[in-house]
Chain A
Amino acid sequence: MSPIGVDEWVARSGERRDDGSGWRKLLARADARVGWWQRLALVTLVGLVAGQLLSNVNVQTVAFNSLLYALLALGLNIAVGWAGLLDLGYIAFFGFGAYGYAVFSSTALGSDGSGGAHLAAIESIPIVVVAAGVFGVIIGLIALRLSGDYLAIVTLFVGQAFMEVVNNVDPGTLGGVNGLFGLDPLHSFGGRVESPLGFYYLALILVVVLAGILHLLDTSRTGRAWRALRDDELAASAMTVPVNKLKVMAFSFGAMVGALGGTVFAAEQTSVFPTNFTENILILIYACLVLGGVGSIAGAILGGLVVTIGEQMLSSPHDAGYLFYGLILIALVTRIRPWRKLAVVLGGVVGFGFAAHAIVGAISSAAVAGSPGSGGFIGSAVGDYVIVPGNPATYGNILYVVLICALIVVVRLHGTRRLLAVIPTVYIAACCWESRLIVNPAITTQIMIGAILIVTMAARPEGLLGKRRVETVL
Chain B
Amino acid sequence: MQEFIQTIVNGLTTGCLYALIALGYTMVYGVLKLLNFAHGDVYMVGAYIGYFVIRWFGGPAALTIPVPLLLLIMFALASAGCGLLGMAMERFAYRPLRDAPRIAPLITALGISFVLENTILLLFGGFTRSYQTPSFIPFSTGIHWGALRIDVVQIMILAVSVVMMLGLRALVNRTTLGKSMRAVASDREAAEMLGINVNRTISLTFLIGSAMAGVAGVMSGLAFNQISNTIGFLAGLKAFTAAVVGGIGSIPGAMIGGIFIGLCESFSLSYISTEYSDLIVFGILIATMLIRPQGIFGQPPLQKV
Report which A residues bind B (CB closer than 8 A).
Answer: 80, 84, 86, 88, 142, 145-150, 152-154, 156-157, 160-161, 164-165, 167-168, 234, 279-280, 283, 286, 290, 294, 397, 400-401, 408, 411-412, 436-437, 440, 443-444, 446-447, 449-454, 457-458, 461, 469, 471, 473-474
Contact across chains for A454 and B119 when beta carbons are under 8 A apart: no
Nearest Cβ in chain A — how far from B39, in angstroms? 11
Q: Within the assembled complex, what's the spacing in Å between the Cα atoms of A451 and B305?
A: 35
Q: Does B144 contact A (CB under 8 A)?
A: no
- Segment at the A interface, from B128-136, B200-208, B276-284: B276-284
Chain B, 37-83, CB within 8 A of any chain A CB: 37
Asked if B269 lies at the interface with its beta carbon under 8 angstroms from chain A, I say no
The smallest beta-carbon distance between A278 and chain B, in angstroms, is 10
Within the complex, the shortest CB–CB distance from B55 to chain A, in Å, comes to: 14
- Does B103 touch A at the CB level, under 8 Å? yes
Check if B118 sits within 8 Å of A294, measured CB to CB.
no
Could you tell me the distance in whole angstroms from the C-beta of A170 to the nearest C-beta in chain B?
Answer: 12
What's the nearest-Cβ distance from chain A to residue B164, in Å? 24
Q: Is the CB of A168 within 8 A of B276?
A: yes
B114 within 8 A of A: yes
Chain B residue with the shortest CB-CB distance to A408: B92
Closest to B240 in A: A153
Q: Does B115 contact A84, Cβ atoms closer than 8 Å?
A: no
Any chain A CB within 8 A of the CB of B303? yes
Instruction: Check A444 against B122 for contact (C-beta < 8 Å).
Output: yes
Contact A450 B237 (CB under 8 A): no
Other A-B pairs, 19, CB within 8 Å; known A145-B289, A451-B115: A145-B290, A146-B293, A149-B34, A150-B244, A154-B286, A154-B289, A161-B278, A167-B275, A279-B114, A286-B110, A397-B123, A408-B88, A436-B122, A450-B114, A452-B111, A453-B107, A453-B110, A457-B107, A461-B101
Cross-chain contact of A440 among B113, B115, B122, B233 (Cβ < 8 A): B122
Min CB gap B113→A, angstroms:
8
Residues of B within 8 A of A449 (CB): 114
Shortest Cβ distance from A459 into B: residue: B96
Say which residue of A148, A165, A280 sits within 8 Å of B103 (CB atoms): A148
B168 contacts A by Cβ under 8 Å: no
> Are B101's CB and A471's CB within 8 A?
yes
Give the complex CA separation of A279 and B118 in angstroms.
12
- Given A152-B35, A453-B114, A290:B107 Cβ within 8 A: yes
B111–A453 CB distance below 8 A:
yes
Q: Does any Cβ of A come within 8 Å of B104's Cβ?
A: yes
Interfacial chain A residues near B113, Cβ < 8 Å: 450
Between A150, A400, A449, the greatest number of chain B beta carbons within 10 A of the residue's beta carbon is seen for A150
Query: A454 and B123 in contact (CB under 8 A), knowing A145-B290, A461-B101?
Result: no
Candidates B92, B104, B114, B123; contact of A411 at CB < 8 Å = B92
* Contact residues in A for B286 (Cβ distance below 8 Å): 142, 154
Is the C-beta of B234 less than 8 angstroms from some C-beta in chain A?
A: yes
**CB contact between A146 and one of B37, B96, B99, B289 (< 8 Å): that residue:** B289
Is there an interface contact between A474 and B304, defined as CB atoms closer than 8 Å? Answer: yes
B172 at the interface (CB under 8 A from A): no
Main secondary structure of the interface of B (DSSP, over half): helix
**How long is the Cα–Cα vector from A458 to B97 in the complex, in angstroms?**
7
Please measure, in the bound complex, the distance between the C-alpha atom of A234 and the C-alpha atom of B305, giving whole angstroms.
Answer: 8
Report B127-161 residues with CB < 8 Å from chain A CB.
Answer: none
Q: Are the C-beta atoms of B110 and A443 separated by less than 8 Å?
A: no
Residues of A within 8 A of B100 (CB): 457, 461, 471
Contact B278 A450 (CB under 8 A): no
Q: How far is the CA of A408 from the CA of B105 in the complex (A)?
A: 18
Q: Determine how close the nearest CB of chain A comes to the CB of B279; give it in whole angstroms.
A: 5
Asked whether any CB of chain A lies closer than 8 Å to the CB of B169, the reply is no
| Residue in A closest to B122 when the chains form the complex, CB atoms | A443
Would you mind naming 10 contact pairs between A and B with Cβ atoms under 8 Å apart?
A142-B286, A142-B289, A146-B289, A148-B103, A149-B33, A164-B278, A164-B279, A234-B305, A283-B111, A440-B122
Is B285 among interface residues, defined by CB-CB distance under 8 A? yes
> 10 smallest A-B Cβ distances: which pairs?
A453-B111, A450-B114, A450-B115, A454-B111, A446-B118, A168-B275, A471-B101, A149-B35, A457-B108, A450-B111
Tell me if B121 is interfacial: C-beta within 8 Å of chain A: yes
Chain A proximity of B127: nearest CB distance (Å): 13
Does B106 reach chain A (CB closer than 8 Å)?
yes
Bound Cα distance from A378 to B241, whole angstroms: 49
Closest B residue to A282 by beta carbon equals: B110
Is the pair A443, B121 in contact by a Cβ cutoff of 8 Å? yes
**Once the chains bind, are B107 and A154 in contact (CB under 8 Å)?**
no
Closest to A161 in B: B282
Contacts of B233 in A (CB 8 A): 279
Say yes or no: A86 contacts B278, CB within 8 Å: no
In the assembled complex, B93 has its CB within 8 A of some CB on chain A: yes
Query: Does B112 sit within 8 A of A, measured CB to CB?
Result: yes
Residues in B whose Cβ lies below 8 Å from that of A446: 114, 118, 121
CA distance A286 to B107 in the complex (A): 8
Q: CB distance A454 to B303 under 8 Å?
A: no
Asked if A294 and B96 sit within 8 Å, CB to CB, the answer is no
Does B301 interact with chain A (Cβ within 8 Å)? Answer: yes
| CB 8 Å contact bits of B219-245 with A (1 = contact, 0 = none) | 000000000000001100100110010
The CA of A148 and the CA of B102, in the complex, are separated in Å by: 8
B105: shortest Cβ distance to chain A, in Å? Answer: 8
> Nearest A residue to B243 by beta-carbon distance?
A153
Q: How far is the CA of A432 from the CA of B52 in the complex (A)?
A: 23
Complex partner residue of B282 from A84, A160, A294, CB under 8 angstroms: A160
**Chain A neighbourhood of B108, CB < 8 A:** 453-454, 457-458
Residues of A within 8 A of B35 (CB): 149, 152-153
Determine which of A400, A408, A451 lies in contact with B122 in the assembled complex, contact meaning CB atoms within 8 Å.
A400
Residue among A147, A152, A471 with max Cβ neighbours from chain B (10 Å):
A152
Cα–Cα distance between A443 and B115 once the two chains are bound (Å): 10
Is the pair B276, A164 in contact by a Cβ cutoff of 8 Å?
A: yes
Of B99, B114, B275, most A-chain CB atoms within 10 Å: B114
Contact B118 A443 (CB under 8 A): yes
Q: List chain B residues, Cβ under 8 A from A440.
A: 122
Contact of A450 among B88, B112, B248 (CB under 8 A): B112
* A449 CA to B114 CA, complexed, in Å: 8
Whether the Cβ atoms of A157 and B282 lie closer than 8 Å is yes
Nearest CB in chain B to that of A447: its residue: B118
> Which residues of chain B are within 8 angstroms of A451 by Cβ–Cβ distance?
111, 115
Which chain B residues lie closer than 8 Å to A283 at the CB level? 110-111, 114
Contact with A along B256-279 (1 / 0, CB 8 A): 000000000000000000011011
**Would you give the shortest CB distance from A169 to chain B, in whole angstroms?**
9
Distance (Å) between the CB of B129 and the closest chain A CB? 16
Name B234's closest neighbour in chain A (CB-CB). Answer: A160
